[in-house]
Amino acid sequence: MKACCLLVSGPLLDSLRLRRRGLAGWIGYFILAFALAGQPLLAPLQGRGWASSEVFGIAPDPTAIATLGLLLLARGRLLPLLLQSPFSGAS
């Protein structure tokens, strides 16, 4: 359901843009990069194998972290409706 909201509010309704400047933009990019590249690298650094790496889209933690990074970068009139997405339960 959350993915459908992001899909509809973004490209289809043209009401969500990923343009943020300043400190919030840099933090958003950093959080997004950590979720996509840093989180999977933590498993080998902790002595676990690559098979136990947490990957965006498969494991819940990097997916929620990447969503927070994207929401920091986002602007638009439907943004308040999407802010609850990484915090709500499975729906």
Query: Which of 28, 6, 27 is closest to 79 using CA atoms?
Result: 6
Q: Is 70 exceeded by the pLDDT of residue 1?
A: no
The pairs formed by 24-31 with CB atoms below 8 angstroms and a separation of 24 or more are 24/72, 24/73, 25/72, 25/73, 27/72, 28/69, 28/70, 28/71, 28/72, 28/73, 29/69, 29/73, 30/69, 31/65, 31/66, 31/68, 31/69, 31/72
Average pLDDT over residues 41-57: 84
The rounded percent of the chain whose pLDDT value lies above 70 is: 64
Q: How far apart are CA 27 and CA 73, in angstroms?
A: 9
Q: Is 80 exceeded by the pLDDT of residue 58?
A: yes
Q: Is 60 exceeded by the pLDDT of residue 85?
A: no
Q: State the pLDDT at residue 91.
A: 45
List pLDDT tens digits, range 12-46.
555 666 777 788 888 988 998 999 888 888 888 88
3-state secondary structure of 75: strand
3-state secondary structure of 59: coil
Which is higher by pLDDT, 78 or 57? 57
Arithmetic mean of pLDDT over the chain: 76
